[in-house]
Structure 1
């Protein structure tokens, strides 16, 4: 069975493939886990495309994946909070689409027993990004927030957390994602021509902030119609910057991971997993997200 799904150079899907890699030993402050599930995110294919060359500073191949859940099977020196057999989730150091990976203890949290590995693997990037963005905006109850790209993993999480905090959410997403967006208590607005008018109609009392999860033309159309409104983006600082927006300030740490897990267990936050693939289907999982049409969260499950 393949050990990991990797990219062997910067480029398109043609540089992807499977590789059998040596098992790494955890260093100080690290743990090695047997992966049970790995989240799939747009950043995965964007890194493969070469947008952040430093990802390959250690050379190729590079294992895909930035969020995982699994079982600790080895603990490095000076690592006091974890033991072999612990069920954990977090941000891997050596990729997530794999049977084994290393994690920094500082970016790892214990998985609550009530939370499945599949749901836990959907939290470290999408849900934690949403959590950080909402903490950054610090909107009071009764505010109105526009989510651009509300149908993806981060948008689904942001809509739920915001609604729990008494914030009215207007979610901009494709028409096909209307049911999903509305299921989390948001007002759905279809993207495309005329989106600015539809946002205005959905928020007649005004908008307090915009959280962008899509970038590009969709962000530009909304932001240009809302001059002076606070804007935070998860991935398009160039477009956002033209309208005075800033990037999400990621906190990244075990405390934030533990908090989103607590929200999930409490029923406030559904990880929104809508598609599950096996490790032998990693390419299909990647294509489903890279197409831009994925609804909710995609996860790769890794059998023991």
Structure 2
């Protein structure tokens, strides 16, 4: 009897796994449809002379350039440096954004003190502050990391603040009745309830980190994918420029997919509308 029950449970689990994988690959195929069609149209138009190869090379030429850069070792070294810069800058800026988002969201007085300044700094564009960072900190890693951190700070700060302030006031009343201490209130109520907004902030901060990386490496760097793009632009090697752009797009998509996967596992308890 126990054996039959175990087999039934295992069969049910296998059925769920099969449905999950089918649904996953269906989504992948559907999401890849438009990019694949665009690439095909692009390749056909280029091969038939409808596009200027000096300005818009075909996907096959870009792939060959990518293979050339990889085989000659240029791509891997630049890629490692860019990934390290992006992750380090995001860790600094995103970590501070999360910290101050919790502080400002939790305290009305802290909001009055800090939020107006943060909102003013949030409006400063990367291209406006990049020359100042270079003048203050030079062309070394400090200026690049600070520029990336500056962009990564605000999305996570704003979304963490919004997540905390969106909580139902009745939950705080219940926590007060249960005599929650401030630490328990923060770890058992505020942070878990604000997690959907926090994960959104992480995804946005990662995207801005890659944008900040491009700006930092194109304005003052001798290494990295951004430098590779800028160097190719100066020599009119458009295929290398496209290869660098595609690399940034792939890195951004992979990092976003990783955070999204962690979010789904962390928020299994959270029921939300997924579309029809």
Structure having the higher helix fraction is 2
Q: Do Structure 1 and Structure 2 share a fold, with TM-score over 0.5?
A: no
Structure number with higher relative contact order (C-alpha < 8 Å, ≥ 6 residues apart): 2
Structure having the higher strand fraction is 1
Query: Which structure's CA Rg is the greater one?
Result: 2
State TM-score, norm by structure 1: 0.23
